[in-house]
Amino acid sequence: MKKRILTALAMLGILGAMNSCTKNEQAESPDSVSNVKRHQLSVPLEDGRTFVEAPSYSTTKLKQQQAPISYGFITIPLPDKNYQSSTTLLKIKTPGDFSIINCIADNSIKVTFTDSVRRMPGYPAGWTAVWNSLPNVENETPAVLYTRQKNRLTLHLSKYVTTFGFELAPNLYDAYPFSVGFYDSKENPQVAYLQDVASTPGGAKLFAVNSQRPFNVVEIAFAGEGENINQPFGFAIANIRYKLAK
């Protein structure tokens, strides 16, 4: 009888330990995926998806890069009256237009893109996310140029400028770091460099500089890690402004 009781108790102990392991594994499972969320997209992906299951991007991963050798430049944090009055707005014409274009121009300058972009009306008719509010942006519902899921874009300017800027927001509803390099194509030095975080919805960011040395190439890129699920799936730029070099 004692042997039967001891055997029964031993079996209960084993079952208890097994149940304990099962409970721990079940308790740990949600933690391992707790950062994965259902993120909305401002512009649907080419496969038709309007949401993406992905971890929230940690902007603490923003890459720390050594400051470039510079001839002197000033970062312009907000599109204030001085910035607007000293520059020219390169208008994005989009009444009912969703065309794919390779350049944008006015009577003074032409900006050519390395990859084609989609010209879209602003919120809510085209870019479906809230852009941002004054004074962080020039206006709250600007027409945009969308990179069609690409996370990099290079702009070649037909003339040298000393001031150049634009507002930017990622396609996926999250916060992401972006870098912008300003270059002289003849000698290829980096004239200026910016890195900051932009978010969607409601967190479009101005990337603009005033440089002592003229430049004619602008490179925009997602500055974070990961090109699969942990990415912005493209971005949009708006309110492009410039000041020609003398």
> Beta partners for 40?
51
User: Do 174 and 190 fall into the same domain?
Assistant: yes
User: Do 45 and 11 fall into the same domain?
Assistant: no
Q: Tell me the pLDDT tens digit for each residue of 193-231.
A: 999 999 999 999 999 999 999 999 999 999 987 656 679
Residues of the chain under the 70 pLDDT cut? 1-34, 59-71, 95-96, 226-229
User: Do 165 and 233 fall into the same domain?
Assistant: yes
Q: Tell me the pLDDT tens digit for each residue of 97-122.
A: 899 999 999 999 999 999 999 999 99
- Claim: this prediction has a pTM higher than 0.75: yes
Give the CA angle between residues 64, 208, 103 to the nearest 5°: 110
For residue 144, what are the CA distances in angstroms to 9, 137, 179, 186?
Answer: 71, 13, 19, 30
User: Do 123 and 22 fall into the same domain?
Assistant: no
- Tell me what pLDDT residue 167 has: 98
Query: What DSSP string describes 205-219?
Result: EEEEEEEEEEEEEEE
User: Do 20 and 45 fall into the same domain?
Assistant: no
Structural domain boundaries enclosing 5: 1-31
User: Do 127 and 214 fall into the same domain?
Assistant: yes
Burial 148-167 (b: 16+ CB within 10 A, else e): bbbbebebebeebbbbbbbb
User: Do 16 and 45 fall into the same domain?
Assistant: no
User: Do 48 and 25 fall into the same domain?
Assistant: no
- Tell me what pLDDT residue 71 has: 60
Helix (DSSP H) and strand (DSSP E) numbers for the chain? 2, 12
Number of domains in the chain: 2
Pick from 176, 181, 167, 168: which is nearest to 227 by CA?
Answer: 176
